[in-house]
Amino acid sequence: MARKTISKNIRTARTTKVLFGDVVYEPGGTCGPRIQGDYQLVALLEGRVEVVVDGRQRRIEAGQVGLFLPGPQELFSFAPDRKSHHTWCSLHPTLLAAETAVAGQAAPAVLPMSRRFAQLMEMGLSLSHWAASGAPGLVEALGIATLQEYLFSGRRETEQRRDEPDALRRALEWINQEGSEAVDLPALARIAGVSSAQLVKLFRRHLGTTPLRHVWETRTRRGVQLLRETGLTVGEVAHRCGFQTPFHFSRWVKQLHGVSPKAVRARAWGRTPTD
């Protein structure tokens, strides 16, 4: 049984098959031993937890997520020197498709918490009790999406470890962040931790392109998405996506899409292009 070390139970949203929860444990708090009946994702926001799963030790630090499978016995022991704040999402096994269950069995036990995972957890926890009872499909869809995001992150991390050198991974992670920071080859090489020449070799070998071309293609795709989905001006889109000028952005849009930014928006909005 859990000791009386829970300081507050903050939020929950539940159906008969999915539960989102949020709780803070006092220093030294425990939970278990218990038999896990669900697929459960435990995300540490603060503190840490040591978990014994069928005799094997597992640690989850702040900023990480652990996946627990149905069947094993578990004992959770939270940090003895600080409070531990964690959220979780439990899914009943009958809710999962067979291929998702198989993927869960093969997934890493602990992963870094992605921004998308954190957003999905927050969406689940923010649902009112009325939404949980009146629209259980919404809660369950969010639960499945949260697990799928974890499994996707696990596959991506495994593929990156196998196929991408660390320097290339660091460069790609920076490029894929939504930002408008100025960048040149030496700066990107410093982020990657290699020389400019080595970074060019890595991009050519693994991606068949150059680092800066990949930067501008990525930013152009992001800009085109904003053109299609928002009412921002071309200049505002260019600025948000890190282009030096609206002309710089327009040149890349025409190079990749064959038309101007205004024409991209007109087509997406069902209008006749005027240029």
**Proportion of the chain above pLDDT 70, given as a percent:** 89
- Summarize pLDDT for 91-150 with one digit per residue, the tens: 999 999 998 988 999 899 999 998 889 999 999 888 866 666 677 888 899 999 999 999
Average pLDDT in the 179-186 region? Answer: 87
Q: Which residues pair with 19 in a beta bridge?
A: 14, 90
Kindly state the average pLDDT of the residues 206-216.
92
Instruction: Check: CB of residue 188 under 8 Å from CB of residue 211.
Output: yes
Mean pLDDT across the stretch 158-165? 58
How buried is residue 102: exposed, middle or buried, by Cβ count under 10 Å (0-12/13-18/19+)? exposed
pLDDT at residue 95, as a whole number: 92
Q: What integer pLDDT is reported at residue 1 of this predicted model? A: 38
Mean pLDDT of the chain: 88
Q: Of residues 3 and 78, which shows the higher confidence score?
A: 78
Mean pLDDT of 182-208: 92
CATH no., domain 6-162: 2.60.120.280
CA 242 centroid distance within chain: 23
The C-alpha angle with vertex 63 and arms to 166 and 168, in degrees rounded to 5, equals 15
Cβ distance 234 to 227 under 8 Å? yes
> In whole angstroms, how far apart are CA 248 and each of 17, 223, 237?
51, 12, 12
**113 in Cβ contact with 43 (< 8 Å):** yes
CB proximity list for 106: less than 8 A, separation 6 or greater? none
Confidence of residue 173 (pLDDT cuts 50, 70, 90): confident
Per the CATH hierarchy, to which homologous superfamily does domain 166-268 belong? Homeodomain-like (1.10.10.60)
Answer whether 0.85 is exceeded by the pTM: no
Copy the structure tokens of residue 233. 């001006």
Give dist(CA 209, CA 160) in Å, integer: 18
Percent of the chain with pLDDT over 90: 64
Residue range 65-79: mean pLDDT, rounded: 95
Residue 160 has pLDDT above 70, yes or no: no
Q: Where are the domains of the chain?
A: 6-162, 166-268
Q: Half-sphere exposure of 2 toward its Cβ, with a 13 Å CA cutoff?
A: 12
- Which residues make Cβ contacts (< 8 Å) with residue 79, sequence separation at least 6? 27, 28, 47, 48, 49
